[in-house]
Homo-oligomer: A and B are copies of this chain.
Amino acid sequence: MSTLKEVAKHAGVSISTASRVINGKEYVSTEARQKVTRAIRELDYQPNLIAQSLVKGRETRQLGILVYDISNSYFAEITMAFEAVAYQHDYTVILCNTAEGTRTLKYLDMFMQRQIDGVAIIGSQLETEEISRLQLLLQRGVPIAMAREKGWLLNPLLDVLDNQTGIVEFDTSEGARMAIDYLVSQGHRRIGGLFTVERDRLWDDPRAQGFRQALEKNGLQINEDLMVADLKTSQSGGFLGMSKLIHQKIGCTAVFAYNDEVAIGALAHCRQAGIRVPEELSIVSMDDTEHSLYTNPPLTSVRIPRREQGEFLAEYLLARVRGKNPPSRFSLPVYLTLRQSVSQVPNNHDLGRV
């Protein structure tokens, strides 16, 4: 493992000179420069970033990203965009999956120990202890950026962090309202919902809030039996949710799904149960991932931009690392992408089959 010392020796110059060449500094004779360059090539020298980081204080050129579930393409695409930006700036990304158990806390500690340059958080709700770790990180000058849904009832401790972190947010409550409004405009009156929060915290979920608000606004009554909660955020969750909804024996003509994955599962269950979508049942969902284009039928879904999230997070952190003061707030618009999973309800069709 060739070191700078070896390079210097091989080139017949001092370590300082070799260092200057490597860092492209001025005040080096062309002769010395050539000798060092050759030595570097001949020895396959690669600078030791560990030693560099140590002497430079911070500057490990590493960003950490806490993501809830990388196997969900929504998160995967955010992560990809994040990584792409980091790569362009010669930064490296440490990936942390936080779905199972309580990994977050340990990961945050690891970040501190690794003298990481910045931390991005996507899709994990934070416990009190984790927040205090984040505060420690901030105190030590490590920038933090988060992606989050507007409207969640946040741990009040988060307020302290609020104006010290970069935040990209999007209004899923508004998105849900748009989706429901659209369903109503198509004549739907009995609309079911598939949610992933626990039942007793149902109204904490902004998507559920939007769902409710839109129904109320349109003068429809809320029937909590039509709202399935506590599902896994996955296709299997949607599958199960749909079956539960059917067992309710309360007809609905449309279903709002928490996200595309859930909707895909729901779609699969409909198919198995012989329910035609959208003829007999309309479905809307959220995220608008690539999948929603290729389902049968393609899903009408609320678009939550993903690439933009990843890019904002990375760019914010990198700007902070450079000592700049970038805008710390970024609001992403959401909008409804119409496809074929929703159909109009005939006027006389009051009770859905489902």
Pull 16 A–B residue pairs with CB atoms less than 8 Å apart, ordered by A: A46-B113, A48-B113, A49-B110, A49-B114, A49-B115, A50-B115, A71-B80, A73-B73, A73-B76, A87-B96, A90-B110, A92-B110, A94-B94, A94-B95, A235-B290, A236-B290
Per-position 1/0 for A188-208, Cβ under 8 A of B: 000000000000000000000
Q: How far is the CB of A68 from chain B (nearest CB, A)?
A: 12
Could you say which residues of chain B place their CB within 8 Å of the CB of A44?
A: 136
Q: A50-B115, A268-B296, A298-B268 are in contact. Are A95 and B110 (CB under 8 A)?
A: no
Residue in chain B with minimal CB distance to A92: B94
* Set B49, B76, B84, B271: member contacting A100, Cβ < 8 A: B84
Q: Tell me the nearest residue of chain B to A1, going by C-beta.
A: B140
Among B53, B97, B109, B235, the residue within 8 A (CB) of A50 is B53
A103 CB contacts on chain B under 8 angstroms: 87
Question: Which residues from B are CB-within-8-Å of A293?
Answer: 235, 268
Binary contact readout A80-101 vs B (1 if CB under 8 angstroms, 0 otherwise): 1001100100101111110010
Report which of B109, B234, B296 forms a contact with A295, defined as CB distance below 8 A: B296
